[in-house]
Amino acid sequence: SFTRLNAQKKLFNESAAQKKERLAWWTYDRFGMFIHWGLYALPARHEWVKNRERLTSDQYQKYFEIFNPDLYNPTEWARMAKAAGMKYAVLTTKHHEGFCLFDSKYTDYTAMNTPIHKDLVKEFVDAFKAEGLKVGFYYSLIDWHHPDFTVDRNHPQRTNSDEEYEKMNKGKDMAKYREYLKNQVRELLTNYGKIDILWLDFSYPGKHGKGKDDWGSIELVKMVRKLQPGIIINDRLDLKEYDDAWDFITPEQYKVPAWPTDANGNKLYWETCQTFSGSWGYYRDENTWKDTKQLLGLLIESVSKGGNLLLNVGPTARGMFDERAQSALAAMGDWMKFNSPSIYGCTQAPDKFNKVDNALLTYNPKTNRLYVHLLDYPLNLLNLPGYKGKVKYAQFLHDNSEIKMTEGSGHWDKNSSYQEGDVKLLLPVQKPNQVI
Ligand code: JFZ
């Protein structure tokens, strides 16, 4: 629904140029790691397991009592993220289950009171910063553990009847939850130094839903900006009618057809988040892992449409990236090692460069280089339609070896009319390994 955005209201006094400046590192870096980690790593069958299986907080309590990620080493995580080419990471400080990976004055439902007895968020922040990565916090607006959080249509104990809702919610006070959520966000943005990204999740206004009034979204955003003026915020607070209450949109688990714009045609900042295997939390038995080419395709395609990719890892209950995640990250790193100049600082190619068959285009406006990503390696000749006079030199990226090119030919278009002005690249028959 982002294409229907018609933002008019404003909360702050920031110009478009100032916003561009604030988001400059993020649009340059393009590639980050999402980390979904919580008690749900123990059942290891989806981060919504409490909801999917309609578990009560009592039934869920056993996971809290045995949570003990003894192999947790965030420096190792940071190194794997870095080796994959990722430049920032966003950790679930609390997911919908309500369990906090951080120490909090406002609840005992934290990692401090599990057998690990550690502020896992603090260790994450320190380790990732030390490795030179930017850090972000995911914080769930939804909370299936807090006693004042009312049962709604996304709740494990949801029902079909208005009367039952009323019965279950008797005595619950969302105003208290609202205060709790604000207090915790304040803790997160006060106790851990500079935080680069805040990812609040998520709103579902309407009948038996929750939105801006439930969260106190406006006050919350104002507090966030005051505590961390440079922070970048996502768009799930149900404040779409405001121009500046959010920074980027978050299309999730699907491909955007083109660079998303608002109703006035202004290009939006955007970041897609994607999983390796389907679920966000560690899911032991999931057999739907994407292969390397699909993962690289997600990254390249995002950049080719002016966006970022936040790619998720769900660590295990012992605090490790499981081996499937590790090898996927390593494979992306093998490609990024040679091809990252086609990602960092890159964006959608200018219109004068026509689409190329079975290829995605990225472009670096500073160096005026066009990157042609060959998703389906062609036989010998790659046709660049209408590129005559626009290309000075062509080379592979992985080894800087020249690719010979010819000008002056053309191609027959769909209507069988001959179009002049193409460039043809003479590629080697055998695809080099580092080409996607
Ligand atoms: C949410 C979470 O429920 C999920 O567990 C995960 O954390 C993911 C990143 O975010 O899922 C959503 C939230 C919003 C939409 C879709 C899935 N949405 O707006 O389409």
ipTM score assigned to the predicted complex: 0.96
pLDDT of 74: 99
**Which atom belonging to ligand 1 lies closest to the Cα atom of 142?**
3
* Location of structure tokens 């057998």: 115
Q: At what angle do helices 217-227 and 174-188 cross, to 10 degrees?
A: 20
Choice among 152-161, 222-231, 412-421 with the minimum mean pLDDT: 412-421
Top mutation candidate among 202, 236, 246 for ligand 1, by most atoms within 8 Å of CB: 202
Distance from the alpha carbon of residue 313 to the mean position of ligand 1, in angstroms: 15
Residue % of the chain over a pLDDT of 70 = 98
Top mutation candidate among 1, 36, 155, 201 for ligand 1, by most atoms within 8 Å of CB: 201
Mean pLDDT of the residues in the chain? 96
Within 239-309, residue ranges assigned H as helices are 292-304
Torsion of CA 225, 104, 158, 282, to 10 degrees: 90
Distance from the alpha carbon of residue 250 to the mean position of ligand 1, in angstroms: 9
Residues belonging to the chain: 436
Res 156 pLDDT > 70: yes
pLDDT of 263: 84
Average the pLDDT over 71-90 and give the result: 99
pLDDT of 1: 45
Distance from the alpha carbon of residue 203 to the mean position of ligand 1, in angstroms: 9
Res 253 pLDDT > 90: no
pLDDT of 5: 56
Q: Cα–chain-centroid distance for residue 77? A: 17
Res 6 pLDDT > 90: no
Average the pLDDT over 84-103 and give the result: 99
The reply to whether omega before 202 is within 30° of 0 (cis) is: yes
Closest Cα to atom 14, ligand 1: which residue?
202
Distance from the alpha carbon of residue 249 to the mean position of ligand 1, in angstroms: 12
Res 8 pLDDT > 90: no
As given in the structure block, the two tokens for residue 365 are: 């406006």
Choice among 3-7, 20-24, 227-231, 251-255 with the minimum mean pLDDT: 3-7
For residue 433, what are the contacts with CB-CB under 8 A and spacing of at least 6? none
Overall pTM > 0.80: yes
Closest Cα to atom 13, ligand 1: which residue?
202
Residue % of the chain over a pLDDT of 90 = 94
Distance from the alpha carbon of residue 364 to the mean position of ligand 1, in angstroms: 32
Closest Cα to atom 12, ligand 1: which residue?
202
Distance from the alpha carbon of residue 201 to the mean position of ligand 1, in angstroms: 7
Closest Cα to atom 20, ligand 1: which residue?
252
Q: At what angle do helices 323-339 and 74-84 cross, to 10 degrees?
A: 40
**Which atom belonging to ligand 1 lies closest to the Cα atom of 95?**
7
- Alpha carbon distance 394, 172 (integer Å): 66
**Which atom belonging to ligand 1 lies closest to the Cα atom of 47?**
5
pLDDT of 408: 84
Top mutation candidate among 140, 203, 252 for ligand 1, by most atoms within 8 Å of CB: 252
Res 377 pLDDT > 50: yes
Query: Which residues sit opposite 88 in a β-bridge?
Result: 32, 134
Distance from the alpha carbon of residue 376 to the mean position of ligand 1, in angstroms: 32
Average the pLDDT over 25-35 and give the result: 98
Report the pocket of ligand 1 as residue ranges, CB < 6 Å: 47-48, 201-202, 252, 273, 280
Average the pLDDT over 136-144 and give the result: 99
Res 101 pLDDT > 70: yes
pLDDT tens profile 267-278 = 999 999 999 999
Query: Which residues sit opposite 136 in a β-bridge?
Result: 90, 197
Distance from the alpha carbon of residue 268 to the mean position of ligand 1, in angstroms: 20
Distance from the alpha carbon of residue 2 to the mean position of ligand 1, in angstroms: 15
pLDDT tens profile 260-318 = 998 889 999 999 999 999 999 999 999 999 999 999 999 999 999 999 999 999 999 99
